Amino acid sequence: MLSFLAERRAELGLLTAQHVVLVLLSTALAVVLGVPLGILMTRRRGLARPLLALAGVLQTIPSLALFGFLIPLPVVGGIGARIAVIALVLYALLPILRNTYTGILQVDPAVVEAATGLGMTDSQRLRIVELPLALPVILAGVRIAAVVSVGTATIAAAVGAGGLGTYVFRGLATVDTRLILAGAVPAALLALAFDGLLARVERSPRPGRAAGVLAVLALVTLMAAGLARPARSGQRVVVVGSKNFTEQVVLGEMLAALLEDRGLAVDRRLNLGGTQLCHEAVRAGQIDVYVEYTGTALTDILKRPAGGDRAAVLREIREAYAPLGLRVGEPLGFNNTFALVVRPDTSRRLGLIRISDVARHADTLRVGLFGEFLERADGLPGLMKAYGFRLAVPPTEMDLGLLYQALLADRVDVVVGSATDGLIAANGLVVLEDDRHYFPPYDAVPVMHAGHLDAHPGLEAAVSALAGRVDEDAMRRLNYAVDSQHRAPAAVAREFLRSAGLLAR
Amino acid sequence: MDVHKRFASGAFALDGLSLSVAPGEVLVLLGTSGSGKTTALKTLNRLVRPERGTVSVLGRDVESWDPIALRRSIGYVIQEVGLLPHLTIAENVEMVPRLLGWEAPRRAARARELLALAGLDADRFAPLRPRQLSGGERQRVGLARALAADPPLLLMDEPFGALDPLTRRRLQDEFRDLQRRLGKTVVLVTHDVPEALRLGDRVAVMAAGRVVQAGTPSEIRDQPRPGFVQEFVAAALP
């Protein structure tokens, strides 16, 4: 574990710094927004209940759902740090709002009356008496907000905003516990550090002064972070995106390496939180290219019925994507379709070669799958209908990463995976043939923001160098190298490109 | 003043109260708790606004005053809680001059002067906070603060309550000397009969929002109106 961390020292430092900046920025904005609103609520009591209720509701929205709402919005939407900060501010608002309000209301009414009797105006009373006396309570709210932000800031990685969540998500995608811990443990330590620091401010004999010092420190940190950001002058950078699972990260690294090899500067926004996010981001031009699957584009993004052969689906997508400002490149050469996978001994014993063979054993076979497959338009209900069988044993839902372990341990007989899962090749597993062509084709295709192609001469050419060069077998080997051998996606991608003769340098 | 004030419940807090105080005079409002004496006091600096009637301060109806300016021209002494707990003694004493926009050096000099006038060592007390002082010291600070901007009128709400008898007696004597020397007009609220008789030029005994008897201390002591006043005075004096 130590050497694992030592290798990643520089990256870990960068991610931690991003994390701290996200927390500082969002907490600062929540204070700037929440304290005046809290004060307003003490002056207009009628506002208190609805505002607190609203802030409470905001806190209960799951973060990915919140991103789902925010990403398509015009000005604020998209991917990156901005949207992450907006979400974090919305989460941090409740404790600050509530503590400002109650902090001011709990000031002894006799003291408030004395201040009025001395001839203070409302704003003088607020500034000289109420805010100073409410400060410890307000600071307690800020402390809660900051600590909670450290935890929730891990979700920033889902929208390409970096932070320690990058390791957590990458670890989850590649089933690598060490990576998850490399993100989670520093985040926990950060939370403790923020908590300790703010607790000291809260209990200091001069909380006002201590809070001021802290605010200045936070501001200086943010300004330093702003200055440290690479200047966006000169040559524009090509932004490469990917979804949050191993294959996507490897493909993203492949595209990035190809572009860099041709002298283009690349910004990697890998591990973005899902199909919809990548699609919105490439439409908005916040990423320039990512790899999509034709079947997913057809059913998930365009919401059209599955059907048609590979060429027809590709044509349909190209036509539908053009008006959206998107260019669909040439297929990379593999079809990442859903795969019903069995152990070789099961295949031999039961004569399972094609999916239609399943019908004969539908009363005994134990099936393992991930939850989404029960719901999808191209999932299990449609599959059973198309092949005319019903499973007697209810299928077992489990995490994608656990499916193959269950299969190899003989806990289930069939798992629903992906055709390019690395563990298929590594364990000599058998993929049942979709003999009735139930699944639409899921050919991997690069999707590019058309409006940016002129600004990046060479982008399209570099991407098209991959056309037809990655078959299912190659993709399985690459996935296996990352998932099972725990090799770095970037190294695996580069090695493949070099052996395929795609890198000039 | 000649006022009515209702509680939200509908009961009268002040019921046809009519009183006046001459410049340089100490008027004591004497009564049990709930008699309306503090409410009456607060109509003078508009912390309470009567539903009917008029209250005049320094020759002007308080409703025609800007309430902020009115309060800054009146010294206000409150029992115990009156000092702002998070500010130093100096900051408390300088508060009204600060609100009036005095320069810092002038404020500081004035605070020292008044702390000395109130019998406190300015060097020692200026940087302390109210909770570090004894009850008697806090009351002295409260008085110093009320006098800071040299207001012609002082309102004092139980200023010597919550003090031990010896300290109370000493502060009462010092206050009377100081008042005579400075010639301030004072309206003082108390439930303590000996205090009222010792400090007041005139004493108004209140019950249920009304003045039941007003007169000089000797009139109250020697010719208490039969009934409430007689009982109240007899119970308090040996």
CB distance A398 to A372 below 8 Å = no
Element (DSSP H or E) covering residue A470: none
Tokens for B145, please give them: 């603060």
Residue A344 and residue A430 in contact, taking contact as beta carbons nearer than 8 Å: yes
Q: Give yes or no for a contact between A112 and B85, defined as CB atoms under 8 angstroms apart.
A: no
Domains A239-334+444-499 and A338-431 share a fold: yes
- Chain B contact for A117 (CB, 8 A cutoff): yes
Domain boundary assignment for chain B: 2-73+153-236, 85-151
| Fold exhibited by the domain A2-228 | MetI-like fold (1.10.3720)
Three-state DSSP class for A399? Answer: coil
What is the pLDDT, as a whole number, of residue A229? 62
What average pLDDT does chain A have? 87
Nearest CB among B45, B86, B87 relative to A117 is that of: B45
A-B C-beta contacts closer than 8 Å:
48
The answer to whether the Cβ–Cβ distance between A119 and B78 falls below 8 Å is no
Write the DSSP assignment of A78-111 as a string of letters.
SSSHHHHHHHHHHHHHHHHHHHHHHHHHTS-HHH
C-alpha pair distances (Å), A10 with each of A5, A7, A138: 9, 8, 36
Mean per-residue pLDDT of chain B: 86
> Chain A 80-109, CB below 8 Å of chain B: which residues?
108
User: Which residue in the block uniquely carries the two structure tokens 């003088």?
Assistant: A124
Contact B70 A128 (CB under 8 A): no
| Better-scored residue on pLDDT, A95 or A207 | A95
Phi, psi for residue B226 in degrees, rounded to 5: -55, 150
Tokens standing for A289?
């290219």
- Does the CB of A127 have a partner CB in chain B at under 8 Å? no
Closest CA to A329 of A466, A475, A454, A502: A466
A447-474 pLDDT tens trace: 999 988 888 888 899 999 999 999 988 9
Q: How far apart are CA A106 and CA B53, in angstroms?
A: 34
> What pLDDT, on the 0 to 100 scale, is given for residue B11?
44
Q: Residue A92 and residue A191: Cα distance in Å, rounded?
A: 14
- Is residue A410 packed enough to be buried (19+ CB in 10 Å), middle (13-18) or exposed (0-12)? exposed
Q: What are B73-106's pLDDT values in tens digits?
A: 899 998 766 889 999 999 999 999 999 899 999 9
**How many Å apart are CA B172 and CA B186, to the nearest integer?**
13
- Contact between A111 and B81 using a beta-carbon 8 Å cutoff: yes
What value, to the nearest 5°, has the Cα angle with vertex A452 and ends A446 and A456?
A: 90
How far apart CA A272 and CA A277 sit, in angstroms, is 7
Q: What is the mean pLDDT of residues B111-116?
A: 90
pTM: 0.74
pLDDT tens profile A292-322: 999 889 988 888 887 778 899 999 999 999 9
Burial of A489 (0-12, 13-18, 19+ CB in 10 A): buried
As its CATH architecture, domain B2-73+153-236 has: 3-Layer(aba) Sandwich (3.40)
Which of B45, B86, B96 is opposite residue A132, by nearest beta carbon?
B86
Nearest CA-CA partner of A416 in A367, A372, A344: A367
Q: The domain at A239-334+444-499 falls in which architecture?
A: 3-Layer(aba) Sandwich (3.40)
In angstroms, the CA A344 to CA A352 distance is 9
Domain segments of chain A as ranges: 2-228, 239-334+444-499, 338-431
Q: Name the one residue in this structure whose structure tokens are 């053009």.
A: A322
Residue of B45, B72, B84 lying closest to A115 (CB–CB)? B84
Q: Is A380 exposed, middle or buried (0-12, 13-18, 19+ CB in 10 A)?
A: middle
Beta strand extents in A215-369 (DSSP E only): 238-243, 266-272, 289-293, 326-328, 338-342, 367-369
DSSP secondary structure string, A447-493?
A: EEEGGGTTTSTTHHHHHHTTTT---HHHHHHHHHHHHTT---HHHHH
At B169, give phi and psi (nearest 5°).
-65, -45
The DSSP H or E segment spanning A453 is none
Distance, CA of A304 to CA of A438 (rounded, Å): 15
Q: Which residues contact A20 (CB under 8 A, 6 or more apart)?
A: A190, A221
Q: What pLDDT shows up at residue A225? A: 76
Residue A270's identity, in one-letter code, is L
- Mean pLDDT, residues A161-187: 84
> pLDDT digits over A372-390, tens only?
788 777 788 889 988 998 8
H or E element: which one contains A192? helix A177-203
Q: Is the pLDDT of residue B5 over 60?
A: no
- Closest partner CB to A114 (pick from B72, B82, B86): B82
Q: Is A350 helix (H, G, I), strand (E, B) or coil?
A: helix
Q: Is A122 on the interface with B (CB under 8 A)?
A: no
pLDDT, one tens digit per residue, over A403-448 is: 888 898 899 999 998 889 888 888 889 999 999 888 888 999 999 9
Domain A338-431 belongs in CATH node 3.40.50.12780: no
Torsion of CA A194, A199, A205, A209, to 10 degrees: 30
Work out the minimum CA distance from A24 to partner chain B, whole angstroms.
29
pLDDT tens track for B30-54: 998 888 888 888 988 888 888 877 8
Q: What pLDDT is stored for residue A78 in this prediction?
A: 66
- DSSP letter string over A218-245? HHHHHHHHHHHSPP--SSPPEEEEEESS
Q: Which of A184, A154, A183, A174 is nearest to A248 (CA)?
A: A174
Residues of A in contact with B68 (CB under 8 A): 119-121
φ/ψ of residue A376, rounded to 5: -60, 155
| C-alpha to C-alpha distance for B60 and B63, rounded to whole angstroms | 8
**DSSP 3-state assignment of B82?**
coil
Distance of CA A259 to the CA centre of its chain: 23
